[in-house]
């Protein structure tokens, strides 16, 4: 698998809070056998004027809230 969404991609946060999030990084976890174990995005959104970083954002979450 490879990175589908580039840094700067914007999407809506699911749930009650429909804040606009932006992808700021892409993380890959690899085990000792050089197998990809986990792929996640890092996103940021504002809450009460402060940036909040979420480092466990799935590709599906971005796809569901993608701003076209």
pLDDT at 39: 95
Contact 7, 24 (CB under 8 A): yes
Task: State whether residue 14 is helix, strand or coil.
Answer: coil
Instruction: Tell me the per-residue pLDDT of 5-35, one tens digit each, with 9 for 90 and over.
Output: 999 999 998 877 788 999 999 999 999 999 9
Please tell me the pTM assigned to this model: 0.86
Distance of CA 54 to the CA centre of its chain: 7
CA distance 48 to 45: 10
Instruction: Tell me the per-residue pLDDT of 37-47, one tens digit each, with 9 for 90 and over.
Output: 999 999 999 99
> Nearest to residue 57, comparing CAs of 41, 44, 46, 34?
41
């Amino acid at each position: 698998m490879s990175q589908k969404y580039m840094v700067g991609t914007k999407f809506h946060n699911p749930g009650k809070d429909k804040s606009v999030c932006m992808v700021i990084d892409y993380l890959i976890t690899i085990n000792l056998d050089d197998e990809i174990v986990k792929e996640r995005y890092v996103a940021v959104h504002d809450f009460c004027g402060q940036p909040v970083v979420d480092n466990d954002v799935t590709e599906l979450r971005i796809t569901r809230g993608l701003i076209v």
